Amino acid sequence: MENLSDLRLFCMVLVKECGSPDALSEEEKAEEFRKTYLRDLPLNVTTIRAAARACGINLVPMSASKMPRNMRGYNEMIMDGMVIGRKTIYYREDDTASGLENTILHETREMMEHIFPEVCPGYCPLRTLATHLAANRFATAVLLPRKSFESKMYETGLDVIALAGFYQKSCSQVLLRMGEVLKGRLFFYGALYELLPDVEPDWRVTYWTRSWNEEFPDANVHGVEDLFPRKGHQVVPGSLVSQVILEGKPYFVRRITLVEDDDEEGLAAIARPYASRENMITKVALVVILGQDRKLLEPQLDRTGPIAIEHFHRRL
């Protein structure tokens, strides 16, 4: 696909080459976007800004006081006759580099959803929430390309915090991307606990993800949904995460059994703290896999040297 100077032209060619937009996953849309506008360029604020300009999008900074509440950015599209004309993305001028990259790509994908019906008659646009979720997936897939991310993920031993540092992305974005990339390949559960000073208790799950092994259904865990915390779940006393918070050190459980007197490998889990610039622990990343896949964690175990616990029963 040739480099295109307007987002509408990109959407037109996307439809021409690949069919209806709903036949393409966000992963595939992101891949086409990278090929067209980013090619082999490094993925950073400079290149993402350049990609937006190549799409004919104006980027306008806005002070936090003028930005709508709880928003990092929004887009505006002005009609030119019967077609969409001027396109603008407003973003918080004090946002981080990672935040700005996400905002630009997220808003670009939302704009694409409005353009698709113009270039693909009969296309039914996604509803508001579905568009928001699709835009999140699109932005993440552009910034964390599947092939290279998967390689780095195994290289770090499924280490959420190491990956966030390497890619200069948030722990939450990395965690959710891990779930997407591992989907269908490996049983995996991951959660991010964060310190929320305005909430009581102040440590809660803010993000979580999981994946299944679709090729070998037996290589999964069934019937223990209550074992895996969901969003809003508080830290349980005596849990792996509670130990990390108390000691400020990573912890590893070699074997988590699900049935009494079970000789099976069960599960293996590691939890790592993330410290702020003030050296205060503000996040804990929890990763759980099958015990038979424990070797996948070895690079993280070797690098972090966690305190090892031999056995838990039906608890994380």
Tell me, what's the pLDDT at 84?
Answer: 64
The count of domains in the chain is: 2
Does residue 23 share a domain with residue 98?
yes
Final residue of a domain: which of 115, 143, 171? Answer: 143
For the chain, the first-to-last Cα distance in angstroms comes to 48
How confident is residue 1, by pLDDT bands cut at 50, 70 and 90? very low
Does residue 304 share a domain with residue 185?
yes
Which residue from 187, 181, 184 is spatially nearest to 150, judged by alpha carbons? 181
Does residue 305 share a domain with residue 178?
yes
Mean pLDDT of 283-310: 97
Does residue 151 share a domain with residue 203?
yes
Final residue of a domain: which of 143, 162, 180? Answer: 143
Quick: pLDDT tens for 147-161.
999 999 999 999 999
Does residue 105 share a domain with residue 72?
yes
Cβ 179 vs Cβ 146: under 8 Å: no
How confident is residue 3, by pLDDT bands cut at 50, 70 and 90? very low
- Domain enclosing residue 159, as ranges: 146-313
Arithmetic mean of pLDDT over the chain? 92
Final residue of a domain: which of 112, 143, 174? Answer: 143
Does residue 63 share a domain with residue 38?
yes
Which residue from 245, 257, 246, 226 is spatially nearest to 286, judged by alpha carbons? 245
Quick: pLDDT tens for 252-293.
999 999 887 666 789 999 999 999 878 899 999 999 999 999
Tell me, what's the pLDDT at 243?
Answer: 97
Give the CATH number, domain containing residue 34.
1.10.10
Omega before 201 cis (within 30°)?
yes
Q: How far is CA 127 from CA 121, 122, 180, 271, in A?
A: 17, 15, 22, 37
Which three-class secondary structure state does DSSP give residue 312? strand
Quick: pLDDT tens for 8-53.
999 999 999 888 899 999 999 999 999 999 988 999 999 999 999 9
Tell me, what's the pLDDT at 134?
Answer: 97
Tell me, what's the pLDDT at 226?
Answer: 87
Quick: pLDDT tens for 70-126.
899 999 988 765 556 689 999 999 999 999 999 999 999 999 999 999 899 989 999
Tell me the whole-structure pTM to 2 decimals: 0.90
